[in-house]
Structure 1
């Protein structure tokens, strides 16, 4: 499993990198996770509704925020500096549990990472992603082509979540978004809150362990 840190990458550049990496992994290259941050951007998943944008795309563009339709599942979300994005490229056909199992595994990687920084997070029934009580701290949206995944997850790390004010996150009206910094502050934790760069090594270790290929159960057909 390759885990590569890309730094701050324009979203469309990352989209082209994703497509190239997905094709390579589908053709037998080593499975990969790309970790990065993005300049401010809003992405529209396959289930996105026009009402999920709180302002017109032209008004967002005037603020330097691009709106990009994408092929992942889910509704609308946003990316920005201070958010850790992980793009995941694995061959799903050799993994027990299918796509839902992978989503569960990715949620667990975020939960474990947050535990290392003193934040207790978990899941919400019927709502993908990672939550701290009723506040959403990480979103997940995957796509599948040639039995190989792409797109991935986004974990809010820094305190500035103002871009979420421009959308209805994940199409969930009334949802409260949170971040590692906000939760540490609310809990009265002392010291500077970790930034994205401070999390990379620990998250890479967690990902390599969680996504290590497991043998298929007997009788489970390979695809």
Structure 2
């Protein structure tokens, strides 16, 4: 099935409340299948997870510093994730973004079938967002994610399924409890600090404001030729439901 041109130029934004990591996976898996079949447009899911440690496909077990039992006693779930990268933590105060995009060319979309470029573009979205608050975010060669002088502020781990459909994504620390990272070697990088916007700024920014800047920069970097119509979706029915509300044109 091929999407009509007006839908092919749409980006749907879904904002979810705090949902378990497994719930986020279920949503993404359903969307990936539907995007591959051309039933839905590109989507970006923004949410927050309860305390969870996730291990990527390339995780080193030595980077998990507590046993599963110890994590469970702390109220932290342990999950095997089907993404790239090593071990990371998700929890309250963190903005997690899961883009489900078709990277293939078509319907005005450029050819984005380059995983390294995709990762660099995601980093660029986060770097541009940090700049809106006067924070200098940087890339570090060989270390995917976004860094500041005080440490790593955003982690990235993605999956690209058959048909060049993306899932998983990024996690930006806003008011995250950084002590939670003591249970792991974040992203397998020993001796590297983590930080948050709350640590980097005199006062933490409003989460909704951060979401708005993420959406703006995401649409600017990933929009097809002619721009995206950015639609707010996922109302009372939740992120698993189709829907639409306000929309705007983004270049």
TM-score (norm 2): 0.80
Give the aligned partner of residue 158 of structure 2.
142
Give the aligned partner of residue 88 of structure 2.
77
Residue 9 in structure 1 maps to residue 19 in structure 2: yes
**Structure number having the greater helix percentage:** 1
RMSD: 1.5
Partner residue of 2:69 out of 49, 58, 79: 58
Partner residue of 1:125 out of 141, 150, 154: 141
Are the equivalent residues in 2 in contact too, given 1:92–1:99 (CA < 8 A)? no
Give the aligned partner of residue 169 of structure 1.
186
Partner residue of 1:101 out of 100, 104, 117: 117
Structure 1 position 202, deviation (Å): 1.9
Structure 1 position 113, deviation (Å): 0.6
Q: How many residues align?
A: 209
Gaps of 5+ in 1: 216-223
Of 93-102 and 75-84, the range deviating more from structure 2 = 93-102
Residues of 2 paired with 1:37 and 1:96: CA distance? 28
Are the equivalent residues in 2 in contact too, given 1:141–1:152 (CA < 8 A)? yes
Question: SS at 1:96's partner residue?
Answer: coil
Structure 1 position 133, deviation (Å): 2.8
Structure 1 position 195, deviation (Å): 3.6
TM-score (norm 1): 0.89
Give the aligned partner of residue 196 of structure 2.
179
Of 91-100 and 55-64, the range deviating more from structure 2 = 91-100
> Runs ≥4 in structure 1, deviation > 6 angstroms?
none
Residues of 1 paired with 2:150 and 2:211: CA distance? 26
Residues of 2 paired with 1:134 and 1:178: CA distance? 6
User: Deviations along 1:102-143, whole A, 9 cap, x unmatched?
Assistant: 111110000111111121111011111000036111111111
